[in-house]
Amino acid sequence: MVIDIGFSDMLSIAQTIGIVSTLLLTLYYYRRQIQKISTDIETQVLNDLDEKVHRLNESMVEHPELSKVVTNLPSISLDAQYSFDVLNVWSHAYDMRERKVLNDNEWSGWVHWMRNAFKEGTIKEHWKQIQRNEWFDPAFEDFMNKEIIGAYWKIE
C-alpha cells in the first residue's frame, strides 16, 4: 500500500499544523498573561488593605483611646503601636514574597532588616505579646519564629 501525497496535500497539512501550533501558542501566552494580571490585581488589593491598616494605626497613635476598639488592653504604648505597624509591613512584604512579587535580592534586604531589628531593637518583646493575640497569618508567624527569631538566637 503506497500513499501518494502530492505537493498540495503536503502544503495543506503544513498549513493545518501551523494554524494549530499558532493557536496553541496563543492560548499558552494568553493564559500566562491572565495569571500575571490576576497576580497584579491581588497585589494591588493587598497594597490597598495595607495602606488602610497603616491609616488605622495612625489614627490610634493620634487618638490612643481608639485602641479599645480592637483590643482590651488598657492602653497601648506608642512603641507597641509602632511595632505592630512595622510587623504589619513585614507581613505584607512576606505576602509579596509568597506571590513572587519580590525577587531574591529584594527579599534578602527585607530579611536582613528583620533580623537586625530583632537583634538590636525592642521589637522582640512586642512580638511576643502580639503573637499571643494571633494578629498575623500563621504562615508569617511561623516564618518569623523559625527564620528571623531563630536566626536571632543563633547570633547571640
What is the identity of the amino acid at 12?
Answer: S
Cα–Cα distance, 103 to 106 (Å, whole number)? 5
- Residues of the chain under the 70 pLDDT cut: 1-4, 71, 73-75, 151-156
pTM of the entire structure?
A: 0.64
Q: Which residue reads 501518494 in cell numbers?
A: 4
Cell of 27: 492560548
pLDDT value of position 154: 54
Burial of residue 29, with CB atoms counted within 10 A of its CB: 0-12 exposed, 13-18 middle, 19 or more buried: exposed
Q: Which residue reads 509602632 in cell numbers?
A: 82
pLDDT of 53-87, one tens digit each? Answer: 778 777 877 887 777 777 676 667 778 888 888 99
Q: Where are the domains of the chain?
A: 38-155
The alpha helices in 63-99, defined as continuous H runs, are 78-98
pLDDT value of position 126: 87
pLDDT value of position 111: 93
